[in-house]
Amino acid sequence: MPRKTDQRTSSGTADNLLQHAKETTSNVVDQVQQQAGSRLDRRKDEAASELEKVAGAVRQLGQGLGDQQQGPLVQYAAEYGRKAADGLERFTNYLRQTDTREIVHEVENFARRRPAILLGGAFLLGLAGARFLKSSVPAATSRHDTDFGRALPPPPHQPSHVQTTSAAL
């Protein structure tokens, strides 16, 4: 009989340990999700602030072009600048007012409905990023002068009496 009691006790202890492990894991997962959510919220707010600045700059550009009273092309560019600024401001407001989880959910749904558009947009964003990075790196003076930032020695000087062609043996 004592053996059955020992088995029940050890079985109960194992169940308690398992339950405690489940609760601890659940608490850790909740904490990680909260920290990740707060980081995403901060990043979202930072992005909204930066987009707000871009919208203001685009609006100023559009107003500056519109004030010049030049040809129809300049007026079209001014109107386009104003519309672009309005769109950026709407997107900024959307970011500020929408919960991060909802934004992620909407992007996931869009990716399921229109994967080609999402991939095309990611490709264009990658091209724009590469273009930006390329323009921010100073250009090398010539291929002979630099090799990815390292200076190459000048080619050796050949005296005029030395032949540069090789003779067949």
Would you kindly state where each structural domain of the chain is located, as residue ranges?
99-131
Q: What's the CA gap between 150 and 124, in Å, rounded?
A: 32
Q: What is the mean pLDDT of residues 87-100?
A: 90
Say which residue, 136 or 166, is predicted with more confidence.
136
Q: Which residues are registered as beta bridge partners of 150?
A: 147
pTM of the model: 0.52
Confidence grade of residue 1 (pLDDT, cut at 50, 70, 90) = very low
CA gyration radius, the chain: 32
Q: Which pLDDT tens digit goes with each residue over 44-90?
A: 888 888 889 988 988 888 888 877 777 888 888 888 888 999 999 99
Q: What is the mean pLDDT of residues 19-24?
A: 86
Question: Residue 112: what pLDDT?
Answer: 92
Q: Which residues are registered as beta bridge partners of 147?
A: 150
Q: Is the pLDDT of residue 158 over 80?
A: no
